[in-house]
Amino acid sequence: MSTHTSPIRWLRRAWPVVVLATLLALGLAAPLVSGAASLGFFLEVLIGGLMAGVLYALVALGFVLIYKASGVFNFAQGAMVLFAALATARLSEHMPLALAVALALALMIGFAWLVERLVLRPLVNQSAVSLLMATLGISFFLEGFGQAIWGNDIYSIDLGLPKEPMILGAKLFEGGILVSRDDLVAASVVGALVLVLGLFFQKTATGRALRAVADDHLAAQSIGIPLNRIWVIVWSVAGFVALVAGLVWGSKLGAQFSLSQVALKALPVAILGGLTSIPGAILGGLIIGVGEKFAEVFLGQALAHWFHLEGGGIENWFAYVLVLAFLLVRPEGLFGERHIDRV
């Protein structure tokens, strides 16, 4: 078989993706072209969307890690973020922040161990649906447990991040372009995290073992990799990611119950990227972040103008509908592995 597909052949196979991408690009350019937004504001929303997307990707990384290594979709990731944030916030009231973070990390590792013993081991070999429901149960439990111990108020996490924004290009654009400083710091944290995770997976023995387990459980077991210990490690790493996400989001919003709702936004990000790919999660996050903000700001105004639907709230469903449309054309996500059904 030839290794070069002619452009026509490729187009015939991939036309749904091309159509979807074109529609999205048109939607992106529409506010600028129609004059609904000045270039400055357009760039502002674009940058804001990219930042928001990176933050979603941070939470989505937890989903990807666990799915990659154990095939379980962890519905409880949001609850883990909440628990880690609450633990840090409350502990830091009694001790220096660094110590509080270390203790919170220890708690997340303990949690990972408990999950492996009490949930994953009894449910081994059950269907994906059962495991999904089990993580749903874990999320309810963890939310209730976290608030029962730490409380329901808004607790602040003070990371010392700068809150005032930067205004760039005030001479070029009217009012300048607003770039949020703490979002920039958060984005660099995410970048650093992805680097650290990448190094961990590629260079360390444990990382290699994790990749082996992700590839093929049985083969990994047959060469002596202890599956149970690997799962504890995976959930601990996901707990670490949840802690970072909890710190970043918690310093933005305050540690409170609604923090777990952020995971509902990160879910489509993980799926869009393809559940087994870390770069996919980042790219998916960027796409959804931008798409969401554009839909909320511009599509909302368009709807208000044409259909008298006084704007707002599109953010909640846009990411999901976008992912739905994408899954229809490419069921495995951006970088996911092709799933082949066998009878």
**Touching other proteins, residues 118-147 (CB under 8 A):** 118-119, 122-123, 126, 128-130, 132-134, 136-145, 147
What minimum distance in Å lies between the beta carbon of 280 and other proteins? 14
What minimum distance in Å lies between the beta carbon of 181 and other proteins? 8
Q: Which two tokens stand for residue 247?
A: 């710190």
Closer of 119 and 209 to other proteins (Cβ): 119
SS3 sequence, the chain? CCCCCCHHHHHHHHHHHHHHHHHHHHHHHHHHHHCCCCHHHHHHHHHHHHHHHHHHHHHHHHHHHHHHHHCCCCCCHHHHHHHHHHHHHHHCCCCCHHHHHHHHHHHHHHHHHHHHHHHHCCCCCCCHHHHHHHHHHHHHHHHHHHHHHHCCCCECCCCCCCCCCEEECCCCCCCCEEECHHHHHHHHHHHHHHHHHHHHHHHCHHHHHHHHHHHCHHHHHHCCCCHHHHHHHHHHHHHHHHHHHHHHHHHHHCECHHHHHHHHHHHHHHHHHCCCCHHHHHHHHHHHHHHHHHHHHHHHHHHHHHHCCCCCCHHHHHHHHHHHHHHHHCCCCCCCCCCCCCC
Contact flag: residue 154 with other proteins (CB under 8 A): yes
Please give the C-alpha separations between residue 96 and each of 86, 154, 245, 250, 336, in angstroms, as whole numbers: 15, 19, 19, 17, 42
What minimum distance in Å lies between the beta carbon of 204 and other proteins? 29
Contact flag: residue 173 with other proteins (CB under 8 A): no
What minimum distance in Å lies between the beta carbon of 5 and other proteins? 23
Contact flag: residue 34 with other proteins (CB under 8 A): no
Choose the stretch contacting other proteins; rule: CB under 8 A; options: 164-172, 189-197, 198-206, 277-285: 164-172
What minimum distance in Å lies between the beta carbon of 265 and other proteins? 8
Burial class (CB in 10 A: 0-12, 13-18, 19+), 279: middle
User: Can you tell me which of 246, 268, 280, 284 binds other proteins, judged by CB under 8 A?
Assistant: 268
Contact flag: residue 96 with other proteins (CB under 8 A): no
What minimum distance in Å lies between the beta carbon of 146 and other proteins? 9
**Touching other proteins, residues 194-233 (CB under 8 A):** none
What minimum distance in Å lies between the beta carbon of 163 and other proteins? 5
Contact flag: residue 309 with other proteins (CB under 8 A): yes
Closer of 5 and 152 to other proteins (Cβ): 152
Contact flag: residue 10 with other proteins (CB under 8 A): no
Choose the stretch contacting other proteins; rule: CB under 8 A; options: 185-193, 210-218, 278-286, 290-298: 290-298
What minimum distance in Å lies between the beta carbon of 295 and other proteins? 9
Closer of 234 and 319 to other proteins (Cβ): 319
Choose the stretch contacting other proteins; rule: CB under 8 A; options: 4-12, 90-98, 189-197, 308-316: 308-316
Choose the stretch contacting other proteins; rule: CB under 8 A; options: 6-14, 194-202, 234-242, 250-258: 250-258
Judged by CB under 8 A, the number of residues near other proteins is 85
What minimum distance in Å lies between the beta carbon of 23 and other proteins? 17
Contact flag: residue 52 with other proteins (CB under 8 A): yes
Rounded Cα distance, 147 and 301, in Å:
38
Q: Which two tokens stand for residue 95?
A: 């001790």
